[in-house]
A = this chain, B = another copy of it.
Amino acid sequence: MALEHDHPINPQRVAATRRRVLSAQDGEQVADTLRLLGDPVRARIVSALREAGELCVGDLALVLDVSDSSVSHALRLLRTAGVVRNRRDGRVIYYRLAPDAVAPRVLDALTPPPVPGERER
């Protein structure tokens, strides 16, 4: 029951990977972003804004067939995270994707490994 052993099976691979792996801190940030988009409503809001350019809360709710409240809650999180921006036009508030909605680092974390020939070291 070595639930907490301390000597690697492959020491050099561990050491090499340790240096290049996403740090705990960066891992948090990447995970935060992915978790934010890991909700059907929020993911579909991003999709809708990508297609429409900009939409107001009520129309987003109609497009997605969910409640205004749910959309509003979701938009607040997206706005706080800088994924979307808004502009007011009378009593209507239009939302659009921020230019750099998803940080490149996040996409890097999802794309396949560099080259299927080089490995450790």
**Contacts from A to B (Cβ < 8 Å):** 2-6, 8-10, 13-14, 16-18, 20-22, 24, 27-28, 30-44, 46-48, 50-53, 55-56, 58-59, 62-65, 67-69, 92, 97, 99, 101-102, 106-107, 109-114, 119-120
| A interface: dominant SS | helix
Contact A52 B16 (CB under 8 A): yes
Most buried by B among A3, A5, A43, A65: A43
Q: Is B69 touching A21 in the complex (CB atoms < 8 A)?
A: no
**A14 cross-chain contacts in B, Cβ below 8 A:** 55, 59, 62-63
Contact: A38 with B31, CB < 8 Å?
yes
